[in-house]
Chain A
Amino acid sequence: MVRRIICFGVLVVLAVLLMAGTLCIGPVDLDSDMFATVLWKLRVPRLVAAVLAGAALSVSGLSLQTLFRNPLAGPFVLGISNGASLGVALALLAGFSFGNFGVLTAASLGALAVTVIIFWIASKFERNSVLLVAGLLIGYFIDALVSLLIAGSDAESLRMYISWGMGSFGRLTPSNIWIFAVAVAVGLLLIVSCLRYLNGARLGDDFARGLGLSVAVQKKCVLLGASILAAAVTAFCGPVAFIGIAVPHLTYLLFHTTNHRVLIPGVMLCGADLALLAGLFPTIPLNATLSIVGVPVILWVLLRSGREGRL
Protein backbone atom coordinates (compact mmCIF):
# COMPACT_ATOMS: atom_id res chain seq x y z
CA MET A 1 0.00 0.00 0.00
CA VAL A 2 2.76 2.45 0.98
CA ARG A 3 4.65 1.42 -2.11
CA ARG A 4 1.67 2.25 -4.31
CA ILE A 5 1.21 5.69 -2.79
CA ILE A 6 4.91 6.49 -3.22
CA CYS A 7 4.84 5.25 -6.84
CA PHE A 8 1.73 7.28 -7.68
CA GLY A 9 3.22 10.34 -5.97
CA VAL A 10 6.51 10.12 -7.86
CA LEU A 11 4.73 9.57 -11.18
CA VAL A 12 2.43 12.56 -10.62
CA VAL A 13 5.32 14.86 -9.63
CA LEU A 14 7.26 13.67 -12.68
CA ALA A 15 4.25 14.33 -14.90
CA VAL A 16 3.89 17.87 -13.55
CA LEU A 17 7.60 18.59 -14.09
CA LEU A 18 7.51 17.19 -17.61
CA MET A 19 4.38 19.20 -18.43
CA ALA A 20 6.06 22.36 -17.21
CA GLY A 21 9.06 21.44 -19.34
CA THR A 22 6.89 20.85 -22.39
CA LEU A 23 5.25 24.25 -21.99
CA CYS A 24 8.39 26.27 -21.19
CA ILE A 25 11.23 24.71 -23.16
CA GLY A 26 11.52 25.64 -26.80
CA PRO A 27 12.97 28.16 -29.24
CA VAL A 28 10.56 30.90 -28.05
CA ASP A 29 11.40 32.26 -24.58
CA LEU A 30 8.97 32.91 -21.75
CA ASP A 31 9.35 36.70 -21.94
CA SER A 32 8.85 36.87 -25.69
CA ASP A 33 5.82 38.63 -27.20
CA MET A 34 5.01 35.53 -29.17
CA PHE A 35 4.94 33.33 -26.08
CA ALA A 36 1.16 33.32 -25.57
CA THR A 37 0.52 32.42 -29.20
CA VAL A 38 3.15 29.70 -29.22
CA LEU A 39 1.88 28.39 -25.91
CA TRP A 40 -1.76 28.01 -26.97
CA LYS A 41 -1.28 27.15 -30.62
CA LEU A 42 1.67 24.77 -30.34
CA ARG A 43 2.76 23.72 -26.89
CA VAL A 44 -0.59 23.07 -25.20
CA PRO A 45 -1.81 20.86 -28.08
CA ARG A 46 1.55 19.04 -28.00
CA LEU A 47 1.21 18.48 -24.26
CA VAL A 48 -2.35 17.22 -24.61
CA ALA A 49 -1.34 14.94 -27.49
CA ALA A 50 1.52 13.44 -25.48
CA VAL A 51 -0.57 12.88 -22.35
CA LEU A 52 -3.54 11.37 -24.20
CA ALA A 53 -1.41 9.24 -26.51
CA GLY A 54 0.78 7.93 -23.69
CA ALA A 55 -2.17 7.06 -21.49
CA ALA A 56 -4.26 5.59 -24.30
CA LEU A 57 -1.54 3.38 -25.77
CA SER A 58 -0.56 2.09 -22.33
CA VAL A 59 -4.10 1.13 -21.39
CA SER A 60 -4.60 -0.44 -24.81
CA GLY A 61 -1.41 -2.48 -24.40
CA LEU A 62 -2.20 -3.50 -20.83
CA SER A 63 -5.72 -4.67 -21.60
CA LEU A 64 -4.58 -6.62 -24.67
CA GLN A 65 -1.78 -8.29 -22.72
CA THR A 66 -4.29 -9.31 -20.07
CA LEU A 67 -6.94 -10.40 -22.54
CA PHE A 68 -4.59 -12.57 -24.58
CA ARG A 69 -2.62 -13.66 -21.50
CA ASN A 70 0.49 -12.76 -23.46
CA PRO A 71 3.21 -10.40 -22.28
CA LEU A 72 4.07 -9.50 -25.88
CA ALA A 73 0.60 -8.56 -27.01
CA GLY A 74 -0.05 -4.95 -27.83
CA PRO A 75 -1.57 -2.75 -30.49
CA PHE A 76 1.61 -3.14 -32.55
CA VAL A 77 2.37 -6.82 -32.35
CA LEU A 78 -1.22 -7.72 -33.11
CA GLY A 79 -1.19 -5.62 -36.26
CA ILE A 80 -3.84 -3.15 -35.07
CA SER A 81 -1.52 -0.20 -35.66
CA ASN A 82 -0.59 -1.62 -39.08
CA GLY A 83 -4.26 -1.66 -39.92
CA ALA A 84 -4.47 2.00 -39.01
CA SER A 85 -1.40 2.66 -41.20
CA LEU A 86 -3.10 1.01 -44.16
CA GLY A 87 -6.14 3.21 -43.66
CA VAL A 88 -3.96 6.31 -43.57
CA ALA A 89 -1.98 5.13 -46.59
CA LEU A 90 -5.23 4.67 -48.50
CA ALA A 91 -6.27 8.18 -47.53
CA LEU A 92 -2.95 9.95 -48.14
CA LEU A 93 -1.43 7.89 -50.94
CA ALA A 94 -4.32 6.43 -52.88
CA GLY A 95 -6.54 9.46 -52.43
CA PHE A 96 -9.53 7.68 -50.96
CA SER A 97 -11.77 10.13 -49.20
CA PHE A 98 -12.98 9.14 -45.77
CA GLY A 99 -15.49 11.86 -45.00
CA ASN A 100 -15.15 14.76 -42.63
CA PHE A 101 -12.52 13.39 -40.30
CA GLY A 102 -10.37 12.03 -43.13
CA VAL A 103 -7.25 10.49 -41.67
CA LEU A 104 -8.93 9.72 -38.35
CA THR A 105 -11.74 7.75 -39.96
CA ALA A 106 -9.30 5.95 -42.23
CA ALA A 107 -7.07 4.94 -39.32
CA SER A 108 -10.02 3.83 -37.20
CA LEU A 109 -11.51 1.68 -39.95
CA GLY A 110 -8.14 0.07 -40.66
CA ALA A 111 -7.52 -0.67 -36.99
CA LEU A 112 -11.03 -2.03 -36.51
CA ALA A 113 -10.73 -4.34 -39.52
CA VAL A 114 -7.55 -5.88 -38.11
CA THR A 115 -9.15 -6.17 -34.66
CA VAL A 116 -12.03 -8.14 -36.13
CA ILE A 117 -9.64 -10.54 -37.88
CA ILE A 118 -7.53 -10.95 -34.74
CA PHE A 119 -10.61 -11.54 -32.65
CA TRP A 120 -11.92 -14.13 -35.07
CA ILE A 121 -8.61 -15.98 -34.89
CA ALA A 122 -8.55 -15.64 -31.10
CA SER A 123 -11.97 -17.25 -30.81
CA LYS A 124 -10.91 -20.17 -32.97
CA PHE A 125 -7.57 -20.96 -31.36
CA GLU A 126 -6.93 -21.33 -27.68
CA ARG A 127 -3.17 -21.06 -28.05
CA ASN A 128 -1.68 -17.60 -27.80
CA SER A 129 1.27 -18.41 -30.02
CA VAL A 130 -1.08 -18.85 -33.00
CA LEU A 131 -2.49 -15.40 -32.41
CA LEU A 132 0.92 -13.82 -32.07
CA VAL A 133 2.17 -15.34 -35.32
CA ALA A 134 -1.08 -14.42 -37.06
CA GLY A 135 -0.80 -10.83 -35.84
CA LEU A 136 2.77 -10.54 -37.12
CA LEU A 137 1.78 -12.07 -40.46
CA ILE A 138 -1.14 -9.66 -40.80
CA GLY A 139 1.30 -6.85 -40.04
CA TYR A 140 3.66 -8.00 -42.83
CA PHE A 141 0.77 -8.43 -45.24
CA ILE A 142 -0.50 -4.93 -44.58
CA ASP A 143 3.01 -3.49 -44.87
CA ALA A 144 3.23 -5.15 -48.29
CA LEU A 145 -0.05 -3.52 -49.33
CA VAL A 146 1.23 -0.19 -48.08
CA SER A 147 4.47 -0.58 -50.07
CA LEU A 148 2.39 -1.20 -53.20
CA LEU A 149 0.61 2.08 -52.53
CA ILE A 150 3.94 3.79 -51.90
CA ALA A 151 5.34 2.54 -55.21
CA GLY A 152 2.53 4.16 -57.12
CA SER A 153 2.37 7.50 -55.34
CA ASP A 154 3.79 10.93 -56.06
CA ALA A 155 6.59 12.55 -54.09
CA GLU A 156 4.46 15.03 -52.14
CA SER A 157 1.92 12.53 -50.75
CA LEU A 158 4.76 10.10 -50.05
CA ARG A 159 6.53 12.71 -47.98
CA MET A 160 3.32 13.30 -46.02
CA TYR A 161 2.91 9.58 -45.39
CA ILE A 162 6.50 9.04 -44.28
CA SER A 163 6.44 11.99 -41.91
CA TRP A 164 3.14 10.64 -40.52
CA GLY A 165 4.85 7.27 -40.03
CA MET A 166 7.63 8.73 -37.90
CA GLY A 167 5.13 9.80 -35.30
CA SER A 168 4.78 13.20 -33.71
CA PHE A 169 2.83 14.92 -30.96
CA GLY A 170 3.05 18.20 -32.85
CA ARG A 171 0.33 17.41 -35.33
CA LEU A 172 -2.69 17.85 -33.12
CA THR A 173 -4.44 21.13 -33.95
CA PRO A 174 -6.30 23.00 -31.19
CA SER A 175 -9.62 22.32 -32.93
CA ASN A 176 -8.97 18.58 -33.05
CA ILE A 177 -8.10 18.24 -29.36
CA TRP A 178 -11.72 17.53 -28.50
CA ILE A 179 -12.14 14.78 -31.05
CA PHE A 180 -8.99 13.07 -29.79
CA ALA A 181 -10.04 13.48 -26.15
CA VAL A 182 -13.52 12.07 -26.77
CA ALA A 183 -12.15 9.06 -28.69
CA VAL A 184 -9.70 8.30 -25.87
CA ALA A 185 -12.43 8.77 -23.24
CA VAL A 186 -14.74 6.34 -25.05
CA GLY A 187 -11.98 3.73 -25.34
CA LEU A 188 -11.05 4.14 -21.68
CA LEU A 189 -14.69 3.87 -20.56
CA LEU A 190 -15.16 0.64 -22.49
CA ILE A 191 -12.09 -0.86 -20.85
CA VAL A 192 -12.79 0.41 -17.35
CA SER A 193 -16.32 -1.01 -17.57
CA CYS A 194 -14.68 -4.45 -17.85
CA LEU A 195 -12.44 -4.07 -14.78
CA ARG A 196 -13.88 -7.11 -13.07
CA TYR A 197 -13.32 -9.22 -16.16
CA LEU A 198 -9.76 -7.96 -16.68
CA ASN A 199 -8.85 -8.99 -13.13
CA GLY A 200 -10.10 -12.53 -13.72
CA ALA A 201 -9.09 -12.88 -17.37
CA ARG A 202 -5.52 -14.00 -16.71
CA LEU A 203 -6.82 -17.30 -15.38
CA GLY A 204 -8.69 -18.33 -18.48
CA ASP A 205 -12.24 -18.11 -19.77
CA ASP A 206 -13.68 -20.95 -17.69
CA PHE A 207 -12.29 -19.53 -14.50
CA ALA A 208 -13.71 -16.08 -15.29
CA ARG A 209 -17.07 -17.67 -16.06
CA GLY A 210 -16.89 -19.46 -12.70
CA LEU A 211 -16.58 -16.03 -11.07
CA GLY A 212 -19.90 -15.05 -12.64
CA LEU A 213 -18.45 -12.92 -15.46
CA SER A 214 -20.03 -12.87 -18.91
CA VAL A 215 -16.80 -13.58 -20.76
CA ALA A 216 -17.93 -13.27 -24.39
CA VAL A 217 -19.46 -9.81 -23.98
CA GLN A 218 -16.65 -8.39 -21.88
CA LYS A 219 -13.96 -9.72 -24.20
CA LYS A 220 -15.52 -7.91 -27.16
CA CYS A 221 -15.88 -4.77 -25.06
CA VAL A 222 -12.18 -4.78 -24.12
CA LEU A 223 -11.08 -5.47 -27.71
CA LEU A 224 -13.25 -2.66 -29.01
CA GLY A 225 -11.94 -0.25 -26.38
CA ALA A 226 -8.31 -1.20 -27.01
CA SER A 227 -8.64 -0.79 -30.76
CA ILE A 228 -10.40 2.58 -30.44
CA LEU A 229 -7.52 3.80 -28.28
CA ALA A 230 -4.87 2.47 -30.66
CA ALA A 231 -6.70 3.83 -33.69
CA ALA A 232 -7.18 7.29 -32.20
CA VAL A 233 -3.51 7.61 -31.27
CA THR A 234 -2.33 6.29 -34.61
CA ALA A 235 -4.60 8.71 -36.45
CA PHE A 236 -3.48 11.82 -34.56
CA CYS A 237 0.12 11.03 -33.68
CA GLY A 238 1.14 8.34 -36.16
CA PRO A 239 2.11 4.76 -35.41
CA VAL A 240 3.78 5.39 -32.06
CA ALA A 241 5.84 2.37 -31.14
CA PHE A 242 6.67 0.77 -27.86
CA ILE A 243 4.59 2.71 -25.35
CA GLY A 244 1.80 0.14 -25.59
CA ILE A 245 4.06 -2.78 -24.99
CA ALA A 246 6.74 -1.33 -22.69
CA VAL A 247 4.68 0.66 -20.19
CA PRO A 248 2.58 -2.21 -18.77
CA HIS A 249 5.79 -4.10 -17.94
CA LEU A 250 7.34 -1.04 -16.33
CA THR A 251 4.18 -0.58 -14.28
CA TYR A 252 4.17 -4.19 -13.06
CA LEU A 253 7.73 -3.68 -11.87
CA LEU A 254 6.78 -0.48 -10.04
CA PHE A 255 3.51 -1.53 -8.43
CA HIS A 256 3.95 -5.27 -7.88
CA THR A 257 0.29 -6.05 -8.43
CA THR A 258 -1.99 -7.64 -10.99
CA ASN A 259 -5.05 -5.68 -9.88
CA HIS A 260 -6.27 -3.53 -12.76
CA ARG A 261 -7.82 -1.05 -10.35
CA VAL A 262 -4.23 -0.03 -9.60
CA LEU A 263 -2.65 -0.97 -12.92
CA ILE A 264 -4.91 1.12 -15.16
CA PRO A 265 -4.22 4.46 -13.43
CA GLY A 266 -0.61 3.28 -13.06
CA VAL A 267 -0.04 2.66 -16.75
CA MET A 268 -1.83 5.88 -17.66
CA LEU A 269 0.56 7.91 -15.51
CA CYS A 270 3.61 5.94 -16.63
CA GLY A 271 2.61 6.19 -20.27
CA ALA A 272 1.91 9.91 -20.06
CA ASP A 273 5.29 10.45 -18.38
CA LEU A 274 7.14 8.48 -21.02
CA ALA A 275 5.34 10.24 -23.86
CA LEU A 276 5.99 13.68 -22.34
CA LEU A 277 9.65 12.78 -21.93
CA ALA A 278 9.95 11.69 -25.54
CA GLY A 279 8.03 14.78 -26.64
CA LEU A 280 10.61 17.08 -25.03
CA PHE A 281 12.78 16.57 -28.11
CA PRO A 282 10.50 17.70 -30.93
CA THR A 283 13.33 17.79 -33.46
CA ILE A 284 14.02 14.05 -33.20
CA PRO A 285 11.36 11.79 -34.76
CA LEU A 286 9.15 10.48 -31.97
CA ASN A 287 9.56 6.83 -32.85
CA ALA A 288 13.34 7.10 -32.79
CA THR A 289 13.31 8.55 -29.26
CA LEU A 290 10.80 5.98 -28.02
CA SER A 291 12.58 3.00 -29.53
CA ILE A 292 15.90 4.10 -28.11
CA VAL A 293 14.27 4.18 -24.67
CA GLY A 294 11.84 1.34 -25.27
CA VAL A 295 14.00 -1.43 -26.68
CA PRO A 296 16.44 -1.67 -23.77
CA VAL A 297 13.55 -1.63 -21.31
CA ILE A 298 11.67 -4.42 -23.07
CA LEU A 299 14.83 -6.48 -23.39
CA TRP A 300 15.65 -6.05 -19.75
CA VAL A 301 12.15 -7.03 -18.65
CA LEU A 302 12.05 -10.04 -20.95
CA LEU A 303 15.44 -11.31 -19.83
CA ARG A 304 14.51 -10.76 -16.21
CA SER A 305 11.16 -12.50 -16.31
CA GLY A 306 12.61 -15.21 -18.54
CA ARG A 307 15.23 -15.97 -15.93
CA GLU A 308 12.62 -16.18 -13.20
CA GLY A 309 10.49 -18.43 -15.39
CA ARG A 310 7.51 -16.17 -15.00
CA LEU A 311 7.00 -14.97 -18.56
Chain B
Amino acid sequence: MTNEVPLLQCKKLEFGYGKVSGAAAIAGTSDAVGAAPALAAPLDFTLSAGEVVAVVGANGSGKSTLLKTLAGFVQPLSGAFEIEGVVNMPLRERAKKIALVRMGNMVPSRMTVREFVGLGRTPYSNFLDGRLAEDGRIVDDALATVGMTAFANRAVAELSDGERSRVYLAEALAQQVQILLLDEPDAFLDVPHSHHLFKMLRTLAAERKMGILVSTHSIEYAEKYCNRMMVIDKGCIQVDTAAEARAHGLLRWTEEEIV
Protein backbone atom coordinates (compact mmCIF):
# COMPACT_ATOMS: atom_id res chain seq x y z
CA MET B 1 0.00 0.00 0.00
CA THR B 2 0.97 3.64 -0.16
CA ASN B 3 2.12 5.69 2.81
CA GLU B 4 -1.47 6.59 3.74
CA VAL B 5 -2.58 5.97 7.32
CA PRO B 6 -4.01 2.44 7.39
CA LEU B 7 -7.69 2.05 8.36
CA LEU B 8 -6.97 -0.24 11.25
CA GLN B 9 -3.69 -1.21 12.82
CA CYS B 10 -3.21 -3.62 15.72
CA LYS B 11 0.03 -3.24 17.67
CA LYS B 12 0.90 -6.19 19.87
CA LEU B 13 -2.81 -6.47 20.65
CA GLU B 14 -3.78 -9.14 23.17
CA PHE B 15 -7.46 -9.83 23.65
CA GLY B 16 -9.67 -11.89 25.93
CA TYR B 17 -12.18 -11.36 28.69
CA GLY B 18 -9.89 -9.70 31.20
CA LYS B 19 -12.32 -7.55 33.09
CA VAL B 20 -15.20 -9.20 34.85
CA SER B 21 -18.47 -7.58 34.06
CA GLY B 22 -22.08 -8.23 34.96
CA ALA B 23 -23.17 -11.75 34.18
CA ALA B 24 -19.74 -13.39 34.40
CA ALA B 25 -19.22 -12.15 37.94
CA ILE B 26 -22.54 -13.60 39.08
CA ALA B 27 -21.91 -16.96 37.44
CA GLY B 28 -19.20 -17.47 40.04
CA THR B 29 -16.43 -17.56 37.50
CA SER B 30 -14.83 -14.36 38.70
CA ASP B 31 -11.72 -16.11 40.03
CA ALA B 32 -11.09 -17.86 36.78
CA VAL B 33 -11.89 -14.79 34.71
CA GLY B 34 -9.75 -12.52 36.86
CA ALA B 35 -6.71 -14.47 35.80
CA ALA B 36 -7.93 -15.15 32.27
CA PRO B 37 -5.05 -15.42 29.83
CA ALA B 38 -5.15 -13.80 26.45
CA LEU B 39 -6.94 -15.92 23.87
CA ALA B 40 -4.08 -15.62 21.42
CA ALA B 41 -0.54 -14.36 21.09
CA PRO B 42 -0.03 -10.60 20.58
CA LEU B 43 -1.43 -9.57 17.21
CA ASP B 44 0.30 -7.25 14.78
CA PHE B 45 -2.03 -6.64 11.89
CA THR B 46 -2.93 -3.91 9.42
CA LEU B 47 -6.23 -3.62 7.60
CA SER B 48 -6.10 -1.51 4.47
CA ALA B 49 -8.81 0.17 2.46
CA GLY B 50 -10.33 -2.02 -0.22
CA GLU B 51 -9.57 -5.43 1.24
CA VAL B 52 -11.68 -8.20 2.73
CA VAL B 53 -9.93 -10.27 5.38
CA ALA B 54 -11.47 -13.49 6.68
CA VAL B 55 -11.03 -14.49 10.31
CA VAL B 56 -11.17 -18.27 10.67
CA GLY B 57 -10.59 -20.63 13.56
CA ALA B 58 -12.30 -23.27 15.64
CA ASN B 59 -15.18 -22.55 18.03
CA GLY B 60 -13.90 -20.68 21.06
CA SER B 61 -10.64 -19.69 19.40
CA GLY B 62 -11.41 -16.01 19.96
CA LYS B 63 -12.77 -14.77 16.63
CA SER B 64 -15.75 -13.01 18.20
CA THR B 65 -13.67 -11.65 21.06
CA LEU B 66 -11.20 -10.13 18.62
CA LEU B 67 -14.03 -8.44 16.73
CA LYS B 68 -15.67 -7.23 19.94
CA THR B 69 -12.34 -5.85 21.13
CA LEU B 70 -11.88 -3.92 17.90
CA ALA B 71 -15.48 -2.65 18.13
CA GLY B 72 -14.73 -1.33 21.62
CA PHE B 73 -17.09 -3.64 23.56
CA VAL B 74 -14.21 -5.43 25.30
CA GLN B 75 -11.04 -3.79 26.60
CA PRO B 76 -7.75 -5.07 25.12
CA LEU B 77 -5.68 -7.02 27.67
CA SER B 78 -2.52 -5.35 26.46
CA GLY B 79 -1.19 -3.61 23.40
CA ALA B 80 -3.35 -1.26 21.39
CA PHE B 81 -5.04 -0.71 18.07
CA GLU B 82 -5.37 2.44 16.04
CA ILE B 83 -8.37 3.48 13.96
CA GLU B 84 -7.08 5.71 11.16
CA GLY B 85 -4.03 6.44 13.28
CA VAL B 86 -5.95 7.29 16.48
CA VAL B 87 -5.71 5.22 19.68
CA ASN B 88 -8.73 5.15 22.01
CA MET B 89 -11.01 7.11 19.73
CA PRO B 90 -14.04 8.60 21.58
CA LEU B 91 -17.15 6.44 21.35
CA ARG B 92 -19.10 8.69 19.06
CA GLU B 93 -16.25 9.27 16.61
CA ARG B 94 -15.54 5.55 16.67
CA ALA B 95 -19.17 4.84 15.69
CA LYS B 96 -18.58 6.84 12.49
CA LYS B 97 -15.50 4.82 11.60
CA ILE B 98 -16.12 1.24 12.66
CA ALA B 99 -19.18 -0.99 13.02
CA LEU B 100 -19.62 -4.56 14.15
CA VAL B 101 -22.43 -6.54 12.54
CA ARG B 102 -23.62 -9.41 14.71
CA MET B 103 -26.27 -11.89 13.73
CA GLY B 104 -27.24 -12.78 17.31
CA ASN B 105 -28.65 -9.30 17.80
CA MET B 106 -31.77 -9.01 19.89
CA VAL B 107 -34.65 -8.65 17.48
CA PRO B 108 -36.53 -5.48 18.30
CA SER B 109 -40.25 -6.11 18.36
CA ARG B 110 -42.46 -3.57 16.58
CA MET B 111 -39.48 -1.96 14.82
CA THR B 112 -39.62 -1.59 11.05
CA VAL B 113 -36.66 -2.22 8.77
CA ARG B 114 -36.45 1.48 7.93
CA GLU B 115 -36.49 2.50 11.60
CA PHE B 116 -33.81 -0.05 12.39
CA VAL B 117 -31.50 0.99 9.56
CA GLY B 118 -32.18 4.61 10.53
CA LEU B 119 -30.55 3.88 13.91
CA GLY B 120 -27.30 3.83 11.96
CA ARG B 121 -27.59 7.61 11.74
CA THR B 122 -27.50 7.99 15.54
CA PRO B 123 -23.81 8.98 15.69
CA TYR B 124 -24.60 11.88 13.37
CA SER B 125 -27.86 13.03 14.98
CA ASN B 126 -28.38 15.98 17.30
CA PHE B 127 -29.36 16.07 20.96
CA LEU B 128 -33.02 15.33 20.24
CA ASP B 129 -32.19 12.57 17.75
CA GLY B 130 -33.55 14.53 14.79
CA ARG B 131 -33.04 13.39 11.22
CA LEU B 132 -32.41 15.41 8.09
CA ALA B 133 -33.44 14.68 4.52
CA GLU B 134 -29.81 13.71 3.93
CA ASP B 135 -30.12 10.97 6.58
CA GLY B 136 -33.19 9.64 4.78
CA ARG B 137 -31.25 9.41 1.53
CA ILE B 138 -28.37 7.58 3.22
CA VAL B 139 -30.81 5.07 4.73
CA ASP B 140 -32.47 4.57 1.33
CA ASP B 141 -29.07 4.04 -0.23
CA ALA B 142 -28.06 1.51 2.43
CA LEU B 143 -31.30 -0.42 1.90
CA ALA B 144 -30.82 -0.37 -1.87
CA THR B 145 -27.22 -1.59 -1.55
CA VAL B 146 -28.31 -4.73 0.28
CA GLY B 147 -31.40 -5.12 -1.90
CA MET B 148 -33.94 -4.62 0.88
CA THR B 149 -35.75 -1.52 -0.37
CA ALA B 150 -38.99 -3.46 -0.83
CA PHE B 151 -38.89 -4.53 2.83
CA ALA B 152 -38.50 -1.00 4.28
CA ASN B 153 -41.85 -0.96 6.07
CA ARG B 154 -41.86 -4.55 7.28
CA ALA B 155 -41.16 -5.40 10.92
CA VAL B 156 -37.62 -6.69 11.44
CA ALA B 157 -39.00 -9.46 13.65
CA GLU B 158 -41.02 -10.88 10.74
CA LEU B 159 -38.09 -11.28 8.34
CA SER B 160 -36.30 -14.52 7.50
CA ASP B 161 -32.75 -15.02 8.76
CA GLY B 162 -31.27 -14.19 5.38
CA GLU B 163 -33.27 -10.99 5.05
CA ARG B 164 -32.42 -10.00 8.60
CA SER B 165 -28.69 -10.45 8.06
CA ARG B 166 -28.89 -8.06 5.13
CA VAL B 167 -30.83 -5.55 7.25
CA TYR B 168 -28.12 -5.69 9.93
CA LEU B 169 -25.53 -5.01 7.24
CA ALA B 170 -27.58 -2.08 5.94
CA GLU B 171 -27.63 -0.55 9.45
CA ALA B 172 -23.82 -0.61 9.53
CA LEU B 173 -23.69 0.94 6.04
CA ALA B 174 -25.98 3.74 7.21
CA GLN B 175 -23.33 4.52 9.83
CA GLN B 176 -21.06 5.29 6.85
CA VAL B 177 -18.15 3.51 8.46
CA GLN B 178 -14.90 2.73 6.67
CA ILE B 179 -14.16 -0.36 8.74
CA LEU B 180 -16.74 -3.13 8.78
CA LEU B 181 -16.47 -6.04 11.19
CA LEU B 182 -18.82 -8.97 10.62
CA ASP B 183 -19.23 -11.84 13.06
CA GLU B 184 -20.23 -14.98 11.16
CA PRO B 185 -22.66 -13.24 8.79
CA ASP B 186 -23.20 -16.52 6.92
CA ALA B 187 -24.19 -18.46 10.06
CA PHE B 188 -27.87 -18.64 9.15
CA LEU B 189 -27.60 -18.33 5.38
CA ASP B 190 -28.09 -20.97 2.73
CA VAL B 191 -25.45 -21.52 0.05
CA PRO B 192 -26.67 -19.06 -2.62
CA HIS B 193 -27.28 -16.33 -0.04
CA SER B 194 -23.81 -16.84 1.43
CA HIS B 195 -22.21 -16.47 -2.00
CA HIS B 196 -24.27 -13.37 -2.59
CA LEU B 197 -23.24 -11.89 0.76
CA PHE B 198 -19.54 -12.42 0.23
CA LYS B 199 -19.77 -10.97 -3.28
CA MET B 200 -21.48 -7.95 -1.78
CA LEU B 201 -18.66 -7.54 0.76
CA ARG B 202 -16.09 -7.59 -2.04
CA THR B 203 -18.01 -4.98 -3.99
CA LEU B 204 -18.32 -2.76 -0.91
CA ALA B 205 -14.60 -3.00 -0.21
CA ALA B 206 -13.70 -2.22 -3.80
CA GLU B 207 -16.22 0.54 -4.52
CA ARG B 208 -16.31 2.34 -1.16
CA LYS B 209 -12.70 1.73 -0.17
CA MET B 210 -13.84 -0.01 2.99
CA GLY B 211 -11.71 -2.39 5.02
CA ILE B 212 -13.70 -5.49 5.96
CA LEU B 213 -12.88 -8.08 8.60
CA VAL B 214 -15.28 -11.01 8.48
CA SER B 215 -15.26 -14.07 10.72
CA THR B 216 -16.63 -17.26 9.20
CA HIS B 217 -16.58 -21.03 9.55
CA SER B 218 -16.58 -21.46 5.82
CA ILE B 219 -13.00 -21.91 4.56
CA GLU B 220 -14.47 -22.20 1.07
CA TYR B 221 -15.85 -18.65 1.05
CA ALA B 222 -12.75 -17.32 2.79
CA GLU B 223 -10.51 -18.76 0.07
CA LYS B 224 -12.80 -17.79 -2.75
CA TYR B 225 -13.87 -14.27 -1.86
CA CYS B 226 -11.40 -12.80 0.61
CA ASN B 227 -8.05 -11.15 -0.08
CA ARG B 228 -6.38 -12.39 3.05
CA MET B 229 -7.05 -14.84 5.82
CA MET B 230 -6.38 -14.53 9.54
CA VAL B 231 -6.13 -17.96 11.14
CA ILE B 232 -6.50 -18.28 14.93
CA ASP B 233 -5.37 -21.77 15.93
CA LYS B 234 -4.51 -22.80 19.50
CA GLY B 235 -3.53 -19.32 20.57
CA CYS B 236 -1.44 -18.65 17.50
CA ILE B 237 -2.51 -16.07 14.91
CA GLN B 238 -1.20 -16.18 11.37
CA VAL B 239 -2.16 -13.95 8.49
CA ASP B 240 -1.58 -14.90 4.86
CA THR B 241 -3.10 -14.25 1.47
CA ALA B 242 -6.23 -16.29 0.89
CA ALA B 243 -4.67 -17.92 -2.15
CA GLU B 244 -1.59 -19.22 -0.34
CA ALA B 245 -2.89 -19.95 3.17
CA ARG B 246 -3.62 -23.59 2.38
CA ALA B 247 -0.28 -24.16 0.64
CA HIS B 248 1.53 -22.63 3.60
CA GLY B 249 -0.14 -25.03 6.01
CA LEU B 250 -2.33 -22.52 7.81
CA LEU B 251 -5.42 -24.65 7.31
CA ARG B 252 -4.03 -27.91 8.61
CA TRP B 253 -6.17 -27.58 11.76
CA THR B 254 -9.33 -27.98 9.71
CA GLU B 255 -8.41 -31.58 8.93
CA GLU B 256 -7.52 -32.57 12.48
CA GLU B 257 -9.85 -34.90 14.30
CA ILE B 258 -11.34 -33.85 17.61
CA VAL B 259 -10.25 -36.26 20.32
Residue positions of A touching B, CB distance < 8 A? 69, 123-126, 192-193, 195-196, 199-200, 202-204, 206-207, 209-214, 252, 257-261, 305, 309-311
Contacts and interface: CB of A to CB of B under 8 A. Distances in A.
A252 B122 contact: no
A311 B122 CA distance: 25
19 contacts: A124-B25, A125-B23, A126-B22, A193-B127, A196-B129, A199-B129, A202-B106, A203-B119, A204-B105, A204-B106, A212-B93, A212-B96, A212-B122, A213-B91, A258-B111, A261-B128, A261-B130, A305-B109, A310-B110
A258 B110 contact: yes
A1 to B, nearest CB: 12
A124 B24 CA distance: 9
**Residue in B73, B93, B122 whose Cβ sees the most chain A Cβ within 10 Å:** B122
A260 B128 CA distance: 10
Contacts of A260: 129
A261 B122 contact: no
10 closest A-B pairs by CB: A212-B95, A212-B92, A212-B123, A211-B122, A310-B109, A196-B129, A195-B129, A202-B108, A258-B111, A212-B91
Contact of B91 (A203, A214, A257): A214
B191 interface: no
A210 B95 contact: yes
A212 B112 CA distance: 21
A157 to B, nearest CB: 42
Interface in B134-186: 155, 157, 175
A196 B91 CA distance: 14
B26 interface: yes
A258 B156 CA distance: 12
Contacts of A258: 108, 110-112, 115
A199 B117 CA distance: 12
A299 to B, nearest CB: 18
Contacts of A309: 157
Nearest to B181: A210
Nearest to A71: B109
Interface in B10-69: 22-23, 25-26, 68
Contacts of A193: 127
B127 A252 contact: no
B105 A203 contact: yes
Contact of A203 (B106, B110, B123): B106
B130 A199 contact: no
B91 A209 contact: yes
Interface of B: 22-23, 25-26, 68, 71-73, 91-96, 99-100, 102, 105-106, 108-112, 115, 119-120, 122-123, 125, 127-130, 155, 157, 175
A305 B25 CA distance: 34
Contacts of A126: 22-23
A311 B109 CA distance: 7
B157 A212 contact: no
B73 A206 contact: yes
B178 to A, nearest CB: 15
A310 B144 CA distance: 27
Contacts of B100: 210
Contacts of B91: 209, 212-214
Given A261-B128, A311-B109, 7 more contacts: A199-B122, A210-B72, A213-B91, A213-B92, A259-B129, A260-B129, A261-B129
A196 B108 contact: no
A209 B73 CA distance: 7
A213 B68 CA distance: 16
B136 to A, nearest CB: 12
Contact of A310 (B94, B112, B157): B157
Contacts of B105: 203-204, 207
Contacts of A209: 72-73, 91
B119 A124 contact: no
Nearest to B153: A256
A200 B120 CA distance: 9
Contacts of A257: 115
Contacts of B128: 192, 195, 261
Nearest to A211: B122
A234 B157 CA distance: 36
A202 B111 contact: yes
